[in-house]
């Protein structure tokens, strides 16, 4: 006796509004947010409604436009010197991006290079680099960075240098662990058999396999912007500092 079965097709599942904004695995929303901030920083001279360093004492402590006493002339209000808060935030985005990105790149390149050398060469070189790294990690990073900033001066490029030599140890420690595993893989052993030098192996075989780890570590290291905003004193105010007052 044959049994007849009936297949019932389910209606297609409707896509949500958030799913419609995704392009596969591409992080569209974060890219749009970061891209907007980058464009604001690049075109700050065009977008800022007022000069961020020139204020009017008669317009001190103006509230935002949606509060009582506010006006559309100063959308986010003014500070204690009558300077427009919105303009200071727009110009401050430029410094925050330059310092944050440059410091992360500097620390990442330095830490990744030392981590690869330490992990692959090993022996005495590994001991020296790792003991230096352990000593550096034992110091409170933020306090040490502020101490160096007080010595060399709070200019923008001094802050980049200070952040680079303060946070490179985090990259070096993580990358070294990756290299210790990679150098035991077959493709590295085959490169040794083929007669490749140690520096060639580190550059052509080890580096491409640890670069993703360094990028992720760098993306998590953007806390450096807060220190940069607190220590930098330049015509454009840091976007991460308290508007109009700086970091106290």
Residue 53 pLDDT class (50, 70, 90 cuts): confident
pLDDT recorded at residue 17: 57
pLDDT exceeds 60 at position 124: yes
pLDDT exceeds 70 at position 221: no
Retrieve residue 22's tokens.
């995704």
Looking at per-residue pLDDT, the higher value among 13 and 211 belongs to 211
Q: Dump pLDDT digits (tens) for 144-193.
A: 878 888 888 777 888 888 888 888 988 999 999 999 999 889 999 999 99
Q: Which residue in this structure is represented by tokens 């933020």?
A: 142
pLDDT exceeds 60 at position 21: no
pLDDT exceeds 60 at position 200: yes
Q: State mean pLDDT over 30-54.
A: 87
pLDDT exceeds 80 at position 25: no
pLDDT recorded at residue 167: 85
CA distance 246 to 243: 7
CA distance 84 to 66: 15
Q: 24-28, 41-45, 100-104, 168-172: which has the minimum mean pLDDT?
A: 24-28
Between the alpha carbon of residue 188 and those of residues 53, 161, 192, 206, the distances in Å are 57, 34, 6, 8
pLDDT recorded at residue 210: 92
pLDDT recorded at residue 34: 83
CATH topology of domain 99-231: MetI-like fold (1.10.3720)
pLDDT recorded at residue 246: 43
Looking at per-residue pLDDT, the higher value among 239 and 197 belongs to 197
Q: List the beta bridge partners of residue 71.
A: 74
Q: Is the four-CA dihedral 203, 204, 209, 213 of positive or negative sign?
A: positive
Percent of the chain scored above 70 by pLDDT?
Answer: 79
Q: 5-19, 80-94, 117-131: which has the minimum mean pLDDT?
A: 5-19
Residue 234 pLDDT class (50, 70, 90 cuts): very low
pLDDT recorded at residue 20: 55
Q: State mean pLDDT over 8-19.
A: 55
Between the alpha carbon of residue 96 and those of residues 90, 104, 123, 192, the distances in Å are 10, 12, 40, 44
Kind and range of the H or E run holding 208: helix 207-219
pLDDT recorded at residue 31: 84
Between the alpha carbon of residue 192 and those of residues 122, 124, 183, the distances in Å are 16, 21, 10
Q: List the beta bridge partners of residue 23.
A: 26
């Amino acid at each position: 006796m044959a049994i007849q079965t009936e297949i019932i097709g389910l209606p297609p599942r409707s896509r949500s509004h958030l799913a419609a904004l995704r392009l596969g695995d591409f992080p569209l929303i974060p890219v749009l947010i970061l891209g907007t901030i980058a464009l604001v920083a690049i075109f700050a001279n065009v977008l800022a409604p007022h000069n961020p360093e020139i204020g009017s004492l008669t317009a001190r402590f103006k509230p935002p436009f949606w509060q009582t006493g506010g006006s559309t002339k100063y959308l986010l209000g003014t500070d204690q010197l009558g300077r427009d808060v919105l303009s200071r935030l727009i110009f401050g985005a430029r410094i925050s991006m330059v310092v944050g990105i440059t410091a992360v790149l500097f620390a990442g390149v330095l830490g990744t290079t030392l981590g690869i050398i330490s992990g692959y060469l090993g022996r005495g070189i590994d001991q020296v680099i790792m003991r230096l790294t352990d000593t550096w990690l034992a110091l409170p990073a933020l306090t040490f960075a502020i101490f160096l900033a007080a010595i060399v001066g709070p200019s923008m490029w001094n802050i980049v240098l200070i952040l680079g030599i303060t946070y490179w140890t985090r990259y070096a420690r993580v990358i070294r662990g990756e290299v210790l595993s990679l150098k035991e893989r077959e493709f590295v052993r085959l490169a040794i058999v083929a007669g490749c030098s140690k520096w060639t192996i580190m550059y052509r075989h080890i580096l491409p396999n640890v670069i993703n780890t360094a990028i992720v570590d760098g993306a998590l290291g953007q806390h450096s912007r807060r220190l940069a905003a607190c220590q930098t004193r330049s015509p454009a105010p840091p976007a991460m500092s308290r508007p109009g007052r700086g970091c106290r």
